[in-house]
Homo-oligomer: A and B are copies of this chain.
Amino acid sequence: METPDTAAKPPERPESTAAAEAAEENAAAPTGVAAQDWKTASADPQYRAAVVDLLGALAYGELAAFERLAEDAKLAPTLADKAELAKMASAEFHHFEQLRDRLAAVGAEPTEAMDPFVEALDGFHKQTAPSDWLEGLVKAYVGDSIASDFYREVAARLDVDTRRLVLGVLDDTGHASFAVEKVRAAIEAEPRVGGRLALWARRLMGEALSQSQRVVADRDALSTMLVGGVADGFDLAEVGRMFSRITEAHTKRMAALGLAA
């Protein structure tokens, strides 16, 4: 139950930082919604609906992450590992609480806001149930990193108040360094584990993309915000660039883990 060795800093840091900087750069001279507070921005009902969608998706994502991590804790090889995963699960739950409270504060019914995303997120977790401890760690790491990159990109387009909340709940809960340390040690101890985990990571990425497409197809308000139209939405070219940035960061993270992406 020690703090992760600071010398064993996760290799994904540079990528995450790059994504965060890209996001910050976009926000550097905020115009439009990104310069407004919630009160002003939410006067536009389409923007308001998009943000409720976004918070609902994020909230259910945190609740599902809580469940997934608590489930993976059962696979932990030691009591200390189990406690570490329980800690992460608990941190996800507190993020969920913040998002739920925010939904309620802006007058949205939290359950209603989350409902549209239950199927896709549950589907993702069902299709990607880890069969052992290492697969669970890779999933937590890959899934969180991709979700975090995505939400950071979107956050730059949000009003000041919502942006602060979203960036707050994306704060590293310690998953990354813990997972990276354990996975690397396992591959070092038995190199052929790397091949199996690389395949697993590819499956995760594929499943994540297919479920995202489903959500985007279903949720008009959210998609319209993401792809121009409302607020300072991306245009389609920008969405393309965002996806390449996220995929690139993923590839680099996998390489640093010793996995071919």
Q: A-side interface residues toward B, CB under 8 Å?
A: 1, 60, 63, 66-67, 70-71, 73-74, 78-80, 82-83, 86-87, 89-90, 93-94, 96-97, 100, 104, 110-111, 114-115, 118
Contact = CB atoms under 8 A, between A and B. Distances in A.
A111 B80 contact: yes
Given A63-B82, A67-B73, A78-B111, A93 B90 contact: yes
A104 B1 CA distance: 10
A116 to B, nearest CB: 12
Contacts of A63: 79, 82-83, 86
Nearest to A78: B111
Given A86-B93, A93-B90, A94-B90, A111 B70 contact: no
Contacts of A83: 63, 96, 100
B79 A67 contact: no
B79 A86 contact: no
Contacts of A70: 66-67, 70-71, 73, 89
19 contacts: A60-B79, A63-B79, A63-B86, A66-B73, A66-B90, A67-B70, A67-B73, A67-B86, A70-B70, A70-B71, A70-B89, A71-B71, A78-B111, A79-B110, A79-B114, A80-B111, A83-B100, A86-B93, A89-B89
Contacts of A96: 83, 86
Contacts of A78: 111
Contacts of A118: 79
Nearest to A74: B67
Contact of A89 (B80, B87, B93, B104): B93
Nearest to A62: B86
Contacts of A60: 79
A129 to B, nearest CB: 12
A111 B67 contact: no
Given A86-B93, A93-B87, A93-B90, A100 B1 contact: yes
A80 B97 CA distance: 12
A86 B66 contact: yes
A83 B89 CA distance: 13
Contacts of A114: 79
A155 to B, nearest CB: 24
Given A1-B110, A79-B118, A83-B96, 6 more contacts: A63-B79, A63-B82, A63-B83, A66-B86, A79-B110, A87-B97
